[in-house]
Structures are given as C-alpha cells and as structure tokens.
Amino acid sequence: MTDTPRANPGYKRIATEEAFATREMLDHYLKLVQDGIDDPGFQSLWGFYIQSDAARPRFIRDHLVDLGEKRLAHMDESGIDMAVLSLTAPGVQIMTRDNAVGFSVDANDQLAEACRKHPDRFVGLAAAAPQDPQHAAKEIERGVTKLGLKGVIINSHTNGEYLDDEKFWPIFEAAQALDVPIYIHPRGMSRDIIKPFVEAGLDGAIYGFGVETGLHLLRIITKGVFDRYPNLKIIVGHMGEALPFWMFRLEYMHEATVRSNRYESMKPLKRKMSDYLRDNVYITSSGVGWEPAVRFSQQVLGIDNVMYAMDYPYQYNIAEVMALDNMQIAPADLKKFYQTNAERVFRI
C-alpha cells in the first residue's frame, strides 16, 4: 500500500465536518479565557487550545483560520476533493447575545467569501446565534439564500440550554422551510454534567463530547421535534455520537417509559425512535476512521444516511482516508459514503 490515498478512485472525497474560525473569534475566545468566564466546559477546552504552546493546539489554531493555501495543501495531500466548512465549537454560543449576533454575521460573510474563491473545494454551513432565535432564523435564511451556504451549524448547547426548548424552534422552522440540514456539533460540556468527566480528563473529544451531543439529539427526538417538523434533517458526527449502537435499547426503553407514565416530559411520539434516526438523522464518520463502525452504522441506519468526514484540523490522519478507501463494501456504496450522500444532503 502506498503512503498516500490513491488518485481518481472513482468518487470524490467530500469531507463533511471540517472546522474553521475567524481570527477575530479566536481573539475573543482568548479574552474570555483571560477574563475568567464562568463556563467550565469552555475553560477546559479553550483554556488549553487558545493558550498552550504545545504542537497540537498550535497546529489547530494556525489551521482553523486558514481558508486558503495551507488547508488546500492538506486536502490535496489527503485526497480530499471538497470540504464542508463550519464554525468551530463553541462558535458564537459562548458569547453575549449582541456579540453572538455580530460574530455569526461576520463569520458567515468570511466563509461565503472563501467559498466564492474556491467553489470547487469549499462549501459552508451558516452559523447562527441561538441566544436570539428570531435573528438566528433570519441569519440562516440570509446565509442560504444570499450567501449560498448549504446548511446550519449549531455547536450543541447554548449556556446549558438545548434546542428541544420551544423558544429555539424558529431555527428548526427556518431549516425545514429552506430544506437545509442542521449539523449539531459537540462543544465543551454544560455546567450541570461536566464535573465527573473533567475530573477524569474525559470531558472532551475522548468521551464527553459524544455523551453531551448524543443527549442533545435524544432530547430533540423525545420532545417531538420531528413530529412538528417531519422534513427536518439533522446531522451529527463521530458515527452518530454512538447512538446507532444504542438504537435497540433506546427504542425499547423509550416505549416502556412512555407506557409507564414515569416522566411528565416524555410523551408518546407518532413514530418509533428508530424511524426518526433512519428518516431524519444523518451521521458522519468524523474522528472515527474505522471500518467496523462505518459498516455497522450503514447496516442499521441505511447506506444513504452515513457520510465521510475527517474532522480537520482537530484530526488530520491521511492513513484513515486510505483505510476507508479500502473498506470491503460495494463500490456503489463506497461512492455514496464519500460523495453522493453529501451531494444530496447538502445539495452540492
């Protein structure tokens, strides 16, 4: 096997969870850290990444803000034809309402300009400020209809609040009306659940991110969001934050809990939990370049529901691309995984 991905494999490689940041946003993060913002998840994550001089955080900072030469060179080296770019976690959701609104508009403008400069290499997702749901809905509309962005990025909770709260549902309404997906990406864990994770060093990408974001999606499903918005599409990364592996138990216990009337918050749904996971949810392989996980998820969710992602620049490993190129699946299904599922979902 060569040490580079093979050229012209019969499909485009579209990486669907690739992060960027504006320099202004990283400067704001540094100020928040230095001012001692009272958010343990943000301090744990960005207190390290924004200040450490170790090789990994320096690499991440340098490449988050690059929407040109460095990023394109790494895409070429790893055989990535196109990247779906979105504002890195926690995006604007750590900010005050006014700052969040302003930074989301600026980030979308900068991202759209990069996509215009490199239309064959970049597409983007619009950032929005859930702190102001009505403005978020309008900014999503502007991002899609005026800037040509292909979806929405929400970096999980906003000050410990999740999108299942109906005050945030203008965001769902806008996404469904525009027929674009919402990508829910992890961020530092919320205050109410982080303590035992951070004590053990498990609050970040190693485990805590998946727990927190999987919880977010389950709250959306069990609140009946997909019954209200049946055509809404939500994407989660990291092989679905492990939910495909829990699907049997989630469905069994959800139905048992509804029958028992144990929780006022858990009401009957129109469909089974597995129906929503298969019909409304798409997952990406970001951070999980592992054939068994990909093939299992394709089996239980459907070939059309699983897409490739690298998770750049947080995870940049050319060997993962080569391993996934060599998965033992039908060529047509490999093309769906790398290319055509993303083209359909993001309308590329």
Both structure tokens of 345? 């979902």
Residue 198, number of CB atoms within 10 A of its CB: 18
Q: Whole-angstrom Cα distance, residue 107 to residue 158?
A: 18
Task: Give residue 141's pLDDT.
Answer: 98
The set of residues, in sequence order, having a beta carbon less than 8 Å from that of 220 and lying 6+ positions away, is 162, 163, 164, 226, 234
What pLDDT digit, counting tens, does each position of 310-329 carry? Answer: 999 999 999 999 999 999 99
3-state helix, strand, coil in the chain (%, to 5): 50, 10, 40
Compute the distance between CA of residue 57 and CA of residue 328 in angstroms, rounded to an integer.
35
pLDDT over 70 for what percent of the chain? Answer: 99
Percentage of residues in the chain having pLDDT higher than 90: 99
* Per-residue CA distances from 251 to 222, 247, 279 (Å): 11, 6, 15
> What is the per-residue DSSP string for 116-131?
HHSTTTEEE-EE--TT
Token pair of 274, please? Answer: 């597995």
DSSP characters for 253-277? HHHHHHHHT--TT----SS-HHHHH
Whether residue 5 is preceded by a cis peptide bond, meaning omega within 30 degrees of 0, is: no
pLDDT at 2: 59
Identify the pLDDT of residue 91: 98
Q: Angle 261-263-268 (CA atoms, 0-180°, nearest 5)? A: 60
Lookup: tokens for 164: 């299942």
Measured CA to CA, the distance from residue 224 to residue 174 in angstroms comes to: 17
Radius of gyration from C-alpha coordinates of the chain: 19
- pLDDT tens track for 269-300: 999 999 999 999 999 999 999 999 999 999 99
> What's this model's pTM, rounded to 2 decimal places?
0.98
311 classed as catalytic: yes
Q: Where are the domains positioned within the chain?
A: 14-345
Q: Judge whether 241 and 213 are in contact, CB under 8 Å.
A: yes
- Going by C-alpha positions, the residue among 266, 163, 280 that lies closest to residue 222 is 266
Instruction: Considering the candidates 39, 311, 325, 333, report the single residue annotated as catalytic.
Output: 311
In this predicted structure, what is the pLDDT of residue 3?
Answer: 78
CA-CA distance, 323 to 22, in Å (whole number)? Answer: 32
pLDDT range class, residue 4, cuts 50, 70, 90: confident
Confidence class of residue 249 from pLDDT cuts 50, 70 and 90?
Answer: very high
Q: Dig out the tokens for 145 from the structure.
A: 């209809």
**Interval 255-264: pLDDT, tens:** 999 999 999 9
**52-110: pLDDT as tens digits:** 999 999 999 999 999 999 999 999 999 999 999 999 999 999 999 999 999 999 999 99
pLDDT digits (tens, 9 = 90+) for 207-225: 999 999 999 999 999 999 9
Looking at residue 8, its pLDDT comes to 93
CA-to-CA separations, 150 to 116, 292, 308, in angstroms, rounded: 13, 30, 17
**C-alpha triplet 123, 127, 133: angle, nearest 5°:** 145
Q: What strand order describes the sheet that includes 126-127?
A: 126-127, 152-154, 182-184, 234-236, 281-284, 306-307
The CA distances from residue 218 to 197, 236, 242, 281, 326, in Å, are 20, 11, 12, 11, 33
- Average pLDDT estimate for 167-178: 98
Length of the chain: 348
Chosen CATH of 14-345 out of 3.40.1010.10, 3.20.20.140, 3.20.20.70, 3.10.510.20: 3.20.20.140
Q: Is the pLDDT of residue 120 over 60?
A: yes
Whether the Cβ atoms of residue 148 and residue 114 lie closer than 8 Å to each other = no
Phi, psi of 84 (to 5 degrees): -95, 110
pLDDT (tens digit, 9 = 90+) per residue, 225-243? 999 999 999 999 999 999 9
Dig out the tokens for 94 from the structure.
């750590």
> What average pLDDT does range 1-30 have in this prediction?
93
Query: Average pLDDT of the chain?
Result: 97
